[in-house]
Every structure is written in C-alpha cells, then in structure tokens.
Amino acid sequence: MHHFNYVDGRLHCEGVPLEDIAREVGTPTYVYSTATLERHYKVLSEAFDGSKYLIAYSVKACGNIGVVSTLAKLGAGADVVSGGELAKALHAGIPAEKIVFSGVGKTRAELTAALEAGIHQFNVESFPEMERLNEIAMSLGKKAPIAFRVNPHVDAGGHANISTGGAEHKFGIAWHEAGEMYAQAAAMEGINPVGVDVHIGSQIMDVEPMRIAFEKVVTLVRELREQGINIQRMDLGGGLGIPYSPKDNPDSPAKYAQMIREVKQGIDVQLILEPGRMIAGNAGVMLANVEYVKERDGRTFVILDSGMNDLARPALYDATHEINLLNEPAADASLKPVDIVGPVCETTDRFEEARPMPPLKQDDKIAFMSAGAYGAVLSSQYNARPLAAEVIVNGDSYSVVRPRPSYEDIIALENQPSWIE
Ligand SMILES: *Cc1c(COP(=O)(O)O)cnc(C)c1O
C-alpha cells in the first residue's frame, strides 16, 4: 500500500502532483511519502501491541534525516551499521536507548562512539569483535549489552547478493558455536549478553524460511537460559519483501507478525525487529526526465537524465522497477518495447531492456516506483553527476530534505595538492 496515485491524469504523491516537484526541484529527484512511511510503521507496531517490542528501522535502507526523523516521531528505534548511521540516527532524534548496531566490521572508533552514546544493543558478529568491544567497554568503565548474530544456515530464497543466512556468508557466528561463545561472553567484564540476533537476508517473499530460523532462535534462547545466561531479547532482523511489480506477491506484514507471535509464544523476551525495505521501499519514487529517444538497429533507447549512479538496484541486483509517466497515458495507448537507459558511460547503466512502454518523447517525466529503499543511499557522484535531490511530502506540502549539490559544492570537497600553485 502506498500513496502514489493518478488524480485527474497526473501522478500525485499524497496531495502533491509529482510534476510540480519535478518542475520546482528538477530531476533526478527522490520523493518520499510521509503517509506511506507512517502506515507501514503502524501496520507492524499495531501487530505487536501488548507485547514488549522495539521496531529498529534499518537506516541503511533509506537514511535521509527527513525520513528517519519522521519515523523517530512515531517512536521508532534504529538499526545502524556504521558510525555515520549512528550519528545520523541520533541527529534525527532517535534516542540512543532505541539504537542497535549491526555489521561485521565495526571499527574501534565506531564501537567507542556507540558505547559513549549508550546504545540499546551491539549485534556482535565474531569473537574478535567481542574481544575488542570488551576491551573498549572496560577502558570506559562500561558494560556493553550484546546479542550474538547467529547464522542459522537457512536459505530464504531471493537474490544471491542479498542472502545472508548461509554457512558461506560472512555474517554471524556459527550456530553450533553459540553456547560456547555466550559462556565466554558472560565471563567478560565489559560484556553483558542480553539477546540473540538473526537476520537471514532481504526481499524475502515467504515467511516460512524465516519461521525456521526464528524457531532456532527460540530454541537457543531456552538453552542459554538453562545454561544460566539471562537472555531477555530476541532480535529477528529485517528482510520482509515488498511488491516491486503487480506479479510480486510477498507475504503481508500482518502474516509476518502473526508468524512471529506464534514462534514467540510462551517465551518472555523483548522482541526487536529491524525492518528497512518494508518501511521505506514503497514509500519512495525516483523522478527522471526523458532526454532523448534514440532509434538504432531496430531498437529504441529511451535515454534519461538519471542513471545507475542515482538508482543502482538494476545494475547491482538485476532488479526492475515499475515505471509510471507523470502524465497518465491514454488507457488505449499502444505499448512498444524500449530499452530504458541512463547517461552514465557504462553498459550496465540500463534500467530495463525491452520494457513495453506507452509512447515517450523528449522531456516527458517518469517515476521509478518502489525506489524508497536501497535507492538514494546507494547513489554516487560517478561521472561527476550531482547526487539526486530528495524531497518528502506530507499531505499537500513538500520539503526538500537533501538539495541537489551544485558543481561548486562537488568541487569544494576536493583540493589540489599543496605543491601545485
Ligand atoms: C539490511 C539489514 C536489515 C534490513 O533489511 P530489509 O530487507 O531492508 O528489511 C536489517 N538488519 C540487518 C542486520 C541488515 O543488514
């Protein structure tokens, strides 16, 4: 469910025609919908009403401060994977007590910053990381609340590049080593083992593989408690998929929540969830302008002013996005297969091949739908192309939450070496 719809033939985000944003802010531009973000957050939080839970929004899906502060206002926590995301989450108004820190490669500086901030939980992914965290915590006179991220050896399906729960993946500690690792953690002065964490991948369409992983977590929590380790939290990660096209039929957030309630029955823990895509994915679109329509060798190339540097998912994950014209085409418009490409000098700068599209001409504006998650965050200034602007809509108004940098802004980030006059 989202709030991007045609009204009188013009594609709107809530009450704002996207054409207005394209005209006033330019393209390429990401546009997020407050009502959609709120709706997704509420669907999940209402499903857990009455139990102890923390929804720690995965900042890496869409870290714009406009988006994160919107979720902070609803009471969301944050799952961060770097010191930069920690700083942004705190700045956006997420209290440290609602922040969990994930990731396999946390540096000393990142661990120190998170300890000093007093975050809710470190999701530790290896023994050396725990030793490092222990040392830093002791030197600061603190005790770090941790969960081990366990690798449940479950294949959840989905694209190979976003699966994380198999033995061949770098994530987490081995399932069979968990008992021993927790025992060692409990003996460390700077470590307080409080939870068990799992995250098996992203864009998972079916909740059943998750159920298998989560049941393993419940079993582990029970075993650890018997071992005398007081586990109080179960962090079930993120990963629920969203529809990118009408053909996609992911299990609903309600079904996901129901499955979790079933798995968690009879065990008193704080539940932590780390949804990213499910919150932000369908809450954002990317606007682009058609620069040229080029016919060659029997093909039609629609060349946009946005490229793989702005929206990397097609180049990175073979992903496709629904594409809507900002001006609704006639219902009987004939569709013709075209290649939708960007201006970047790379062959992979291609959004889709032979996509059936209604007639398109220079300066038509289009929207890549479902671009809110892993969209703007993955963008770069490759080819010295300014980062896309970002806008958030709320009802009839909108706010530019990341202006497009000027060439001067881009150049100001760099210097000539001191020896060149
Ligand atoms: C990426 C990530 C998430 C969010 O995944 P989604 O598929 O966007 O819900 C949650 N937890 C961890 C540890 C992650 O790396």
pLDDT at residue 163 in the model: 62
Say if CB 181 and CB 148 are below 8 A apart. yes
pLDDT at residue 165 in the model: 64
pLDDT of 100 strictly over 60: yes
- pLDDT, one tens digit per residue, over 309-326 is 999 999 999 999 999 999
pLDDT at residue 13 in the model: 98
Q: Which residues line ligand 1 (CB under 6 A)?
A: 58, 60-61, 79, 81, 102, 199, 202, 237-239, 274-278, 373
- pLDDT, one tens digit per residue, over 144-203 is 999 999 988 876 665 555 566 666 677 788 888 999 999 999 999 999 999 999 998 899
Ligand 1 atom having least distance to the Cα of 164: 15
Give 12 Cα–ligand 1 centroid separation in angstroms: 29
pLDDT at residue 156 in the model: 64
Give 208 Cα–ligand 1 centroid separation in angstroms: 18
pLDDT of 57 strictly over 80: yes
For residue 110, the Cα-to-chain-centroid distance in whole angstroms is: 20
102, 162, 206: residue to mutate for ligand 1 pocket, most atoms within 8 A of CB: 102
- pLDDT, one tens digit per residue, over 74-85 is 999 999 999 999
On whether the 4-31+281-412 domain is CATH 2.60.40.420, my answer is: no
pLDDT of 236 strictly over 80: yes
Residue located via tokens 């909740």: 207
40, 41, 44, 58: residue to mutate for ligand 1 pocket, most atoms within 8 A of CB: 58
Ligand 1 atom having least distance to the Cα of 197: 13
pLDDT at residue 162 in the model: 56
Residue nearest (by alpha carbon) to ligand 1 atom 10: 238
Task: Let me know if the fold of 4-31+281-412 is the same as that of 103-273.
Answer: no
| Residue in 413, 284, 292 with CA at minimum distance from that of residue 341 | 292
Is the peptide bond preceding residue 329 cis, with omega within 30 degrees of 0? no
Domain borders along the chain are 4-31+281-412, 103-273
Give 239 Cα–ligand 1 centroid separation in angstroms: 6
The rounded distance, in Å, linking the Cα atoms of 72 and 91 is: 10
Give 237 Cα–ligand 1 centroid separation in angstroms: 6
Q: What is the average pLDDT score of the chain?
A: 95
Give 93 Cα–ligand 1 centroid separation in angstroms: 20
| Percentage with pLDDT > 90 across the chain | 89
Give 156 Cα–ligand 1 centroid separation in angstroms: 14
Within 8 A by CB and 6+ apart from 182, the residues are 148, 193, 224, 227, 229
Ligand 1 atom having least distance to the Cα of 123: 13
pLDDT of 52 strictly over 80: yes
Give 115 Cα–ligand 1 centroid separation in angstroms: 22
Task: Give mean pLDDT, residues 48-65.
Answer: 95
pLDDT at residue 158 in the model: 58
Structure tokens at 109: 């500086």
Residue nearest (by alpha carbon) to ligand 1 atom 3: 238
Q: In terms of pLDDT, which residue wins out, 154 or 5?
A: 5
pLDDT at residue 375 in the model: 98
Ligand 1 atom having least distance to the Cα of 238: 9
| Percentage with pLDDT > 70 across the chain | 97
Mind telling me the catalytic residues?
345
pLDDT of 258 strictly over 70: yes
274, 313, 377: residue to mutate for ligand 1 pocket, most atoms within 8 A of CB: 274
pLDDT of 141 strictly over 80: yes
pLDDT at residue 251 in the model: 94
pLDDT band at 226 (very low <50, low <70, confident <90, very high): very high
99, 197, 202: residue to mutate for ligand 1 pocket, most atoms within 8 A of CB: 202
Architecture (CATH level 2) of domain 103-273 = Alpha-Beta Barrel (3.20)
pLDDT at residue 421 in the model: 79
Ligand 1 atom having least distance to the Cα of 239: 7
| Residue in 154, 132, 134 with CA at minimum distance from that of residue 237 | 154
Give 40 Cα–ligand 1 centroid separation in angstroms: 16
pLDDT band at 302 (very low <50, low <70, confident <90, very high): very high
Report in angstroms the alpha-carbon separations of 137 from 44, 178, 212, 416.
Answer: 34, 22, 34, 41
Ligand 1 atom having least distance to the Cα of 280: 8
Three-state SS sequence of the chain: CCCEEEECCEEEECCEEHHHHHHHHCCCEEEEEHHHHHHHHHHHHHHCCCCCEEEEEECCCCCCHHHHHHHHHCCCEEEECCHHHHHHHHHCCCCHHHEEECCCCCCHHHHHHHHHHCCCEEEECCHHHHHHHHHHHHHCCCCEEEEEEEECCCCCCCCHHHECCCCCCCCCEEHHHHHHHHHHHHCCCCEEEEEEECCCECCECCHHHHHHHHHHHHHHHHHHHHCCCCCCEEECCCCECCCCCCCCCCCCHHHHHHHHHHHHCCCCCEEEECCCHHHHHHHEEEEEEEEEEEEECCEEEEEECCCCCCCCHHHHHCCCCCEEECECCCCCCCCEEEEEECCCCCCCCEEEEEEEECCCCCCCEEEECCCCCCCHHHCCCHHHCCCCEEEEEECCEEEEEECCCCHHHHHHCCCCCCCCC
Residue located via tokens 């009455």: 50
For residue 312, the Cα-to-chain-centroid distance in whole angstroms is: 13
Partners of 365 in the β-ladder: 289
